[in-house]
Chain A
Amino acid sequence: MKLLNFVGASLIATALVGCNTMPGPGGQAGVSVLDSNTRAHLDTELTMADYTAFAENVTNKMLSSRIVQSWGNKRPRLIVARLQNNTDNENIRMQDIHDRITETILNSGVARLVDTSATRFDYVVKTELSSTRQYGQDGAELAFFKLEFKMFKIDGEMVGQWSDVLPLGRAKQKFL
């Protein structure tokens, strides 16, 4: 901005360049409504559609597993622990992912969800979102996001593990 001011002032002052027409505010940006399921990305970060797809994929893997199928109509008490964010982005809306997971489990009707403060429960599902990044020439970037569930019994025995990976690639340069 300072640079523009300086150059602008110099151009006016010399009065050698004649009439300098400044660009106007420009045309309005075209804005359109996208499909809520669109998986378009402007950057190698997760979008709301990714949160939804990620949460549903891993939860459905868990729900269709042998152990959950074996519950039948017992509807055990289940805790979905706080989702751990181990990515390099503190702004990921972890609550949205957690809410989608609980919504999917509730809709399936296979278990009763209880709060993390509950003292009576049968299983606890620990969840973690992690990421790795690789950088290539000229700022090319490959990011992998992984959502992982681990199910434990009350005595600490792990009885199941499910995950899904979302790779996002970018070829163009970015400052950082």
Chain B
Amino acid sequence: MSASFMKKLALATALSVSTTQLAANPFAELINNVTSANQQPAQAKPVDHARQEKVTNEGGRQFAAGYSKAFYPVKSLLKQGQTDQALQEHKTIFLEKDGKSFLAQVEHGLVALDANQTDTAINAFADAEHILGQEFAGSKLGSMLQSSSSNLVSMITGAGEITDYPGESFERILMLNYKSIAYMLQGERKAYNVARRSIDWQNIEKKRFRDEVELAKKELAKKEAEQKEQGNDLSGFGITDTINKYYGKSRKEAAQVPSAYVNPFGFYMTGMVQEFDSYDDRSLRDNARIAYQKALELNPKSKVIKAAAAAMKKKPRRGRKLVHIIVADGFSPEKRTVQFDYNAGGVPLPIKLPIYEAETSPIHRFEIQTVSGKRLARVHSIADINSIALRHQYDSLPFQQLNMTVNVVRSYFENRALSKLGFLGKVVGDARQEMANPDMRSWISLPERFLAARIEAPKNLSRIRIKGFDRRGRTLVNQVVKLRKDSHNFVYARNIGKVMKVATNQNKMWAPIK
């Protein structure tokens, strides 16, 4: 019999023991121990020099694990600007193994887009959308409950990546944003239809998330009430404080946006498409203005959106072509495991939490210039995905609280059951520990932020330059972009560190130049 079979056998045995006990008396003994025991310092763990591991200020270990770690080879290639290789690597590691996964498809779509393979990107995003419709149709549970907290097996086993992943709500909206970018790069007006859908989805997701948070809070309150009836006070449990301690760090960054549902990209894209339309039918200029205005309501500080909305009050300039530039900069935060020992009645229970860690781009500002160096436009923020992700994490704390509560109880009863089994218990315990990991999945290839610039350029302008500067004004990125002379232009630039990849619309835009 193979080692993995033995592990599964041992694990399943342990599960059946621990879950039976859990069902019989889920909280009482644990809470009694917690409330009565003197707080003892957590046992020191042997330092594991795994990649990028570090000790947090709170005393826990932070390290890459699960999906985040598995994605490193692809991320590394993307950082080196080797997008074609990254696409192939992703296909080998993820897509060919699990092509029916939402995450595999959206990652593949984005990497394909960065490699300027728009057909592949559109197909992958369409597949991801299809998977959402097929796999999760009829589900009343959304992202959080579906992917982490409420899934009973996932919570009881502690194996967070065992269930299918439908993406976080903000990731699903970004999937549509990216699909619309891919259509724009093909010069297809279909970008408008997709962008409209993303606006609808964002409204639906916002409401769904609010409902789920309420549900999680009710679930917690219910458990607390049940325990209180049995004479156990959960308030001595300290889980809320622990959660706040580990997740509180990102509060300031999360507070940059009022909610995770203020991504204005959908409105900006519909404004952009209608602005192109307005070169054919001037009456649509007003529709474009309204769309830009709605984008501005979601990101009132954005200078580029404000300028675009103002420009729609004037008619298109004759002899000019419209150039819209989108810059996707950096990487969105990736999940990392923070492991620490939670002291439950003198028994140190290993707890693992998934926590977003931001990766800040070295670029402070971008600028669009002529090839000779004259500034044409500054590039300003459209959507701050970093803050949106952190805000989502912050607003999701009730789920993490629920998750941790169940995990602490599970670990406690497992420990008790396994300690009675002697050596076998030790083997099972090690295997169990290996399996008990939080859900580390997130759309890793997403950028940290979307920025944009808009230029009404002379018809004969054939090239522009995109420059990126650090805080001290030093040039880190300098990329010349060839424009189509016979058409309006849409430029998509992906910048990672000091490496920029640029693509322009492969076909003529549908609207004529005046």
Contact = CB atoms under 8 A, between A and B. Distances in A.
Contacts of A6: 153, 157, 159, 162
A3 interface: yes
B166 A175 contact: yes
Interface residues of A, number: 25
A13 B8 contact: yes
Contacts of B12: 9-11, 13-14
A176 B132 contact: yes
Interface string A54-87: 0000000000000000000000000000000111
A86 B192 CA distance: 7
Contacts of B204: 135, 176
B16 to A, nearest CB: 6
Contacts of B100: 1
Which residue, of B9, B135, B166, has the highest number of chain A Cβ atoms within 10 A?
B9
A13 to B, nearest CB: 4
B193 A90 contact: yes
Interface string A115-142: 0000000000000000001010010000
A10 B11 contact: yes
Contacts of B132: 175-176
A14 B201 CA distance: 44
Interface string A156-176: 000000000000000011111
A90 B195 CA distance: 10
A172 to B, nearest CB: 8
Interface stretch (B70-78, B136-144, B405-413, B442-450): B136-144
A106 B409 CA distance: 74
Interface in A7-48: 7, 9-11, 13-14, 16
Contacts of A87: 193, 196
Interface string A82-126: 000111111000000000000000000000000000000000000
Nearest to A89: B193
B200 A133 contact: yes
Nearest to B157: A6
Contact of A3 (B11, B153, B172): B153
A9 B162 contact: no
B183 A16 contact: no
Given A3-B163, A10-B15, A175-B132, A138 B140 contact: yes
Contacts of A14: 9, 12-13, 16
A49 B162 CA distance: 42
Contact of A174 (B15, B137, B190, B194): B137
A154 to B, nearest CB: 16
B194 A90 contact: yes
Contacts of A11: 12
B153 A176 contact: no
A85 B189 contact: yes
Nearest to A135: B204
B222 to A, nearest CB: 22
Given A86-B196, A174-B133, 7 more contacts: A1-B164, A3-B153, A3-B164, A14-B16, A86-B192, A89-B193, A175-B166
9 contacts: A3-B153, A3-B164, A14-B13, A85-B193, A88-B200, A90-B194, A138-B140, A172-B138, A175-B136
Nearest 7 CB-CB pairings of A with B: A90-B190, A90-B193, A175-B136, A10-B12, A88-B196, A13-B9, A88-B197
Interface of B: 5, 8-9, 11-13, 15-16, 98, 100, 132-133, 135-140, 153-154, 157, 159, 161-164, 166, 172, 183, 189-190, 192-194, 196-197, 200-201, 203-204
